[in-house]
Amino acid sequence: MFDLLKKLTQTTGVSGNEEEIRNVIKEEIKGKVDQITVDTLGNLIAVKKGNGKKIMVAAHMDEIGVMATFIDDNGFVRFSSIGGVNQYNSIGQKVRFNNGTIGALHYEQKLDDLKNLKLSKMYIDIGVDSKEEALKLVGIGDVACFVGDCVKQGNIIISKALDDRSGCAVVIDAINNMPKTENEIYYVFTVQEELGLRGAKTAAYQIKPDLAIAVDVTLTGDTPNSHLMEVKCGKGPAIKIKDRSIICHPKVKKLLENSAKKINIPYQYEVLEAGGSDPGAIHISAGGVPSGAISIPCRYVHSPVETACLTDIENAVKLLIESLCSFSG
């Protein structure tokens, strides 16, 4: 699992530019499903045919990043955020453009108080001294992801883009280890989740599933002085109850609870007060779809040091497999 996480997190795939990560995922699941397609928006849809219920599994393959907006005469690149980029998490980080160009992200020195820091006061230094030189490396509209290597220490994984490549890894591992089931399963690696659940919406319309389960990360309440929240790293995958985009369907919550009990893994409940996720778009698509999610507890979400527990990720795979096999309507 660690090798897969490393491969997926270290591949670039900023929202709207998911080609590279899509190709990596396609390679991982080739031959394991009956059909693989890419839809108009770029969602990767892998189908395991069956005569039973139609289930949609969603994990978003995009990640947050930045987009070049303006280059000054000295070659410094201004940028706008793609998804929820936090200015404080960005200080002193490296970003990587799709062509491999690395930039140092920093802020204007004249800032009197860090509290006033905005992304518009920050810039990317790609080590050139003119606009002309800069434009050879970075074009207006080019996107870059944050750089954050993937390390394993004991049971924890630290990396950029565990949101949501850890979810993608769970779905890939489930595909590779699925026992025979009658259910027809649509594994969807969605695009542009970080920009407002865009890919999941069109995929759900097209598939019209009987049920949907997303796999994504969630915040935790287990770090110093953190927002009060029950979810903790290492205490098992969380069954989503709500976030700002959805109240999960009781049918899905029950299915996930019963499945976790049956395979005897630890689990917890997620009530997320900030943020939305793919099931938020899926459940109001195609006449309504009972939807829910398996959430991987993750600290420092949307930073280059996202931190999650390997055992939670592995248990999420088992929970997903059991749920997909046992759903009967």
Catalytically active residues are 193
| Rounded Cα–Cα distance for residues 11 and 55 (Å) | 28
Q: What residue ranges bind Zn ion (CB under 5 A)?
A: 163-164, 216
Q: Residue 313 CB, nearest distance to Zn ion (Å)?
A: 14
Q: Residue 217 CB, nearest distance to Zn ion (Å)?
A: 5
325 φ, ψ (degrees, to nearest 5): -80, -35
| Rounded Cα–Cα distance for residues 216 and 163 (Å) | 7
CA distances from 265 to 55, 236, 262, 313, 320 (A): 22, 7, 8, 12, 12
Sign of the torsion formed by the C-alpha atoms of 170, 320, 35 and 209: negative
Sign of the torsion formed by the C-alpha atoms of 260, 278, 23 and 1: negative
Output DSSP code: residue 55. E
Which residue's CB is nearer to Zn ion, number 62 or number 142?
62
| Rounded Cα–Cα distance for residues 161 and 176 (Å) | 22
Largest CA distance in the chain: 65
- Which residues have CB under 8 Å from 100's CB, separation 6+? none
Q: Residue 249 CB, nearest distance to Zn ion (Å)?
A: 20
Which residue's CB is nearer to Zn ion, number 168 or number 260?
168
Q: Residue 83 CB, nearest distance to Zn ion (Å)?
A: 9
Burial environment of residue 118 by CB neighbours within 10 A (0 to 12, 13 to 18, 19 or more)? exposed
Q: Residue 274 CB, nearest distance to Zn ion (Å)?
A: 12
Q: Residue 302 CB, nearest distance to Zn ion (Å)?
A: 9
Q: Evaluate whether 171 touches 32 at the Cβ level (below 8 Å).
A: no
Taking alpha carbons only, the member of 264, 286, 270 closest to residue 211 is 286
| Rounded Cα–Cα distance for residues 266 and 248 (Å) | 20
Which residue's CB is nearer to Zn ion, number 216 or number 312?
216
